[in-house]
Homo-oligomer: A and B are copies of this chain.
Amino acid sequence: MTQQRRIKVGIVGGTGYTGVELLRMLATHPQAEIQAVTSRQDAGTPVAKMFPSLRGRVELAFAEPAKAGLESCDVVFFATPNGVAMSEAPALLAQGVRVVDLSADFRIRDIAEWEEWYRMKHASPALVAEAVYGLCEINREAIRGARLIANPGCYPTAVQLGFIPLLEAGLIDRDWLIADAKSGVSGAGRKAEMHILFSEASDNFSAYGVSGHRHWPEIRQGLARAAGAEVGLTFTPHLTPMIRGIHATLYARITREADFQALFEARYAKEPFVDVMPAGSHPDTRSVRASNLCRIALHRPHQATGRKDILVVLSTIDNLVKGASGQAIQNMNIMFGLPETAGLESVPVVP
């Protein structure tokens, strides 16, 4: 294996958080080599000048997309705003380059629904049908042969991994799903916007997008697929004053009793990146910080009176790793037949 040719990797849009996170992890990936990192705005700037954390680890400069030689890469990651990959991926695919898109361009099957939520015309509707939704724990086989991966969103990853075993087994009321999710501020991206300033977001907590959030259709689509039928989902995102991490608190109404702990343990027994904790645990986001893990725990809350049929699932990930760049690398590993954990073995950073 070690003699094997290294996978040549290109990154489109390397100046955001998912971009720098790809760079951090790929810099130590034993079987990948970063060939090019593009940025229209910062072309010519050494990557390590913008991100001193990469000094001595990434020698490249940001390149003009057109001159970056992306077409000679084995795989290209799009770490771009929504709307870029759908325009630029087709040319790469045509030249035999495989693509992992970290944006939302290929995640929603229903083009009209996508266009409504993302407020633009889709440039490559045909590719949407081909794209494989890269939630590895659900689609591993399809990912293996895929040319184009729609890497899941951060909230959708945490929420789906927590609900799917229950929906697959048909044990809960699929018309009655509540996902109360909390995200660190890096989930909003590396953009100069007022509400994510330190002085606005720290020592503060709020919900946002309660009336409607773009990750809602993505989650619903995934849950419906697992359930084999439409689902009723309420999804409430919150901003919490930490850099990384998503904590999804999921509420389900049990329709048939079962050993839920055993169900989850069996469902994820072979998954290298899903950790079903002992019943009654409270996973904290730092226990997955800077790692590709999803930790899950189940609870049956005390209900002295009233209904006793509520199951609470706690699901935590690092939004930039399992919720973005780590899962993208996991997808790459699967696509190219590498060990699935290659480049993703670092231990969560605590404290």
Contact = CB atoms under 8 A, between A and B. Distances in A.
Interface of A: 17, 20, 24-25, 27-28, 51-57, 113, 175-176, 178, 180, 182, 184-186, 188, 190, 192-194, 196-208, 210-212, 216-217, 220, 230-236, 238, 240-245, 247, 249, 251, 275, 277, 280-291, 295, 299-307, 310, 312, 314, 316, 320, 345-351
Given A185-B198, A234-B312, A251-B251, 16 more contacts: A20-B350, A28-B347, A52-B295, A53-B287, A53-B291, A53-B348, A55-B287, A186-B351, A198-B241, A198-B243, A203-B203, A203-B242, A204-B286, A205-B284, A207-B249, A210-B301
A241 to B, nearest CB: 5
Contacts of A251: 178, 180, 234, 251
Among all A-B residue pairs, the 10 with the closest Cβ atoms: A232-B306, A212-B302, A206-B284, A53-B348, A180-B180, A210-B299, A198-B201, A53-B350, A185-B198, A204-B286
14 contacts: A52-B281, A53-B347, A53-B349, A53-B350, A180-B251, A185-B199, A185-B202, A198-B202, A205-B242, A205-B285, A231-B305, A231-B306, A234-B301, A241-B242
Contacts of A304: 113, 217, 220
A128 B236 CA distance: 38
Contact of A190 (B186, B194, B284, B310): B194
A243 B243 CA distance: 12
A247 B237 CA distance: 13
Contacts of A347: 24-25, 27-28, 53-54, 57
Contacts of A230: 305-306
Contacts of A207: 247, 249, 282, 314
B243 A240 contact: no
A297 to B, nearest CB: 8
Contacts of A190: 194, 197, 199-200, 351
Contact of A243 (B202, B206, B208, B346): B202
Interface centre among A28, A113, A201, A281 (most CB of B within 10 A): A201
Contacts of A196: 197-199
Nearest to A174: B306
Nearest to A320: B351
A211 B192 CA distance: 26
A15 to B, nearest CB: 10
A220 B303 CA distance: 10
B307 A243 contact: no
A200 B233 CA distance: 33
A351 B301 contact: no
Nearest to A318: B349
A216 B286 contact: no
A121 to B, nearest CB: 20
B346 A346 contact: yes
A188 to B, nearest CB: 8
A129 B217 CA distance: 51
B55 A210 contact: no
Contacts of A57: 347
B199 A17 contact: yes
Contacts of A17: 199, 351
A290 B290 CA distance: 10
Contacts of A241: 198, 202, 240-242
